[in-house]
Structure 1
Amino acid sequence: MGRKNKNSGDFFWVSYADLMTTLFFIMLTLFILTVVYLKVEQNVIQTKLIEYENILKVKEQFKPLQKKNSGFVYLENCDKYVAEDLLGEEIFEPNKTKILPQFEDKTIQVGKRIQGLLTEMKNNNPGLQYIVILEGNMANRWDMSISKESIWGYKVSYERALAVYDFWLQNGIDMRGNDDVVEVLISGSGFNGLCRDEVEENNKRFSVQIIPKVKPINE
């Protein structure tokens, strides 16, 4: 009987040792997985911080536009900069796409300022890309009788933006450049669009938005 109890005790300790060994490997595996997970999370956080710093760096480039005599005015209600020389001006003939002669010089100056700003941003932020949206706008009638979804309105407003783009090219102003960093999108919002002038006639205009494109770090 005593021998039998001794064998039972040996079996217990062998089983206990196997159990502890198994638990050790389980804990070791969990520890390794935890370390790997924390390392991955740390890399993700660091990547996001770098991307955020890049965004803040780009935003700093717009600060010169807030200074006096910059040629631009900041509209807080829609977070947009507009050209001071063309603010509230009817730069197009009614229902037409040709720029009025008295606004040609101002349009050239605005184009040169924007081109200069893009050049500065590209030099200060290598590796980033930019989208320039050139948007044409339309003014409705005094009684607002034209539908905001008028196809004709979208067509003419697009042609106004295209006319400005062609006018700039004719005067040596090329927003795209030769480095494939800037993409220009020509669009028309018709009788729609944000930040329209309260004086409806003043919406015979165009607007330009510069959108920095921050590439993910892992690209």
Structure 2
Amino acid sequence: MREEHGNLFWLSYADLMTALFIIALALFVLSYRMFKQHQLNLSAAEEKLRLRSIELDQQAQALETLRLRVSELDKQRAAMAALRRRLSEEELNASTLIQQLNDERARLAVMEAEYLKIQEIHKAIENLDSRFFVYQPAYKRHILRPQVQFKTGNSDIAPSYKPMLVKAGQALHKLADRLEPGDNIKYLLVIEGMASKDGYRRNYELSYERALSLFRLWQQEGIHFDQDRFEVMIAGSGTGGVGRDLRNEKNNQRFLIQIIPKVGELQTLQLSNHPDAGPHSPLSD
């Protein structure tokens, strides 16, 4: 009886162990399948993540390219703004230069017109009555044709010369009246005396005094020059100056007449202190 009971135990035990083995095997197979499926899921997720990472890298590269492009566009925009400012400045400079050129062209046109007018005046001055005046083109001046002789150290004009000198003054006044008046052109009338080299120590002062005597003679005879158009200057060059007669020193006792057109208002002359300049004095009638 006990032997049969023992065999039954072992049979039951063997059945139990077999059942446990089958359960364990079934659990192992099930776990293996679950783990394998999970591994596949993880691999698929990893692949997705890898592809997503590649995509993000590409997007990052695209964004970096876009950022660089935006930066380049910003630089180009700044360059364009600087170029526009430069063009605006150049346009302003060009406009200023054009205005300056127009002003300069207008000024040159005025200067040309004034130059032509002065040339006409010079030609008119050259035609001063040849009975009384000799024109020297090299010095742009006239020599009073009557050869006036003075006593040494004396500035008084002898009565015999006065009628001819008065006629010369009248001819000069007539020419002055014919000169075209203009608000922008005035005239400087220089009456200059010269002296011969005779050893007299006051020849410079004497030449001035002789020119002054001629001017006063003309005033006494009613020969007056329009103060609004003419500035009269009395001068004495003594034994200096240019264009002297080197063959006959006595011929250098003479009067020189210069009519100088001036553009604009006549200014006070700045006198030189050089001893050869001689005394000068601007006078008005």
TM-score bracket, shorter-length normalisation:
0.7 to 0.9
1:190 aligns to 2:209 (yes or no): no
| Per-residue deviation, residues 61-94 of structure 1 (Å, max 9, x unmatched) | 343455596433222332323334x2xx134333
1:79 paired residue number: 140
Structure 1 position 99 matched with structure 2 position 157: yes
Q: Which structure has the higher relative contact order (CA within 8 Å, separation 6+)?
A: 1
Q: Percent identity?
A: 25
Matching residue of 2:64 = 4
CA RMSD, aligned part only? 2.3
Higher helix share: 2
Map of 1:57 onto structure 2:
117
Q: 1:66 to 1:133 in 2, by over 3 A?
A: closer
Give 1 or 2 for the bigger CA radius of gyration: 2
Give distance in 2, aligned partners of 1:140 and 1:113: 30
Gaps of 5+ in 2: 1-59, 266-285
State the one-letter code of the partner of 1:181.
R
Q: Does 1:42 align with 2:91?
A: no
Shift of 1:200: 1.0
Shift, 1:187, TM fit: 1.1
- Could you give the per-residue CA deviations for residues 130-159 of structure 1, whole angstroms, max 9, x where no partner exists? 111111110113xxxx38xx5x11111111
State the distance in 1 between where 2:195 and 2:253 align.
5
Alpha carbons of 1:75 and 1:100: their partners in 2 closer, same or farther (altered >3 Å)?
same
**For residue 9 of structure 1, what is the amino acid of its counterpart?**
R
Give the alignment's TM-score, normalised by structure 2.
Answer: 0.64
**Number of the residue aligned with 2:93:** 33
Secondary structure at the counterpart of residue 245 of structure 2: coil
CA contact (8 A) 1:90 1:203 kept: no
Aligned length: 203
Per-residue Cα deviation, 1:97-128 (whole angstroms, up to 9, x for no partner): 111222101111111111121222143x4431
Sort the Cα spacing of 1:38 and 1:28 in 2 relative to 1 into closer, same or farther, 3 A: same
Partner of 1:203: 252
| 3-state DSSP of counterpart to 1:189 | strand
Instruction: Please state whether the residue corresponding to 2:63 is helix, strand or coil.
Output: helix
DSSP 3-state at the match of 1:61: helix
Counterpart AA for 1:41: L
Match of 1:127 in 2: 184
Give the whole-Å Cα distance in 1 for the aligned partners of 2:125 and 2:149: 22
- Is structure 2 residue 274 aligned with structure 1 residue 214? no
Q: Distance in 2 between matches of 1:133 and 1:159?
A: 14
Identify if the C-alpha distance between structure 1 residues 67 and 185 changes in structure 2 by more than 3 Å, giving closer, same or farther: closer
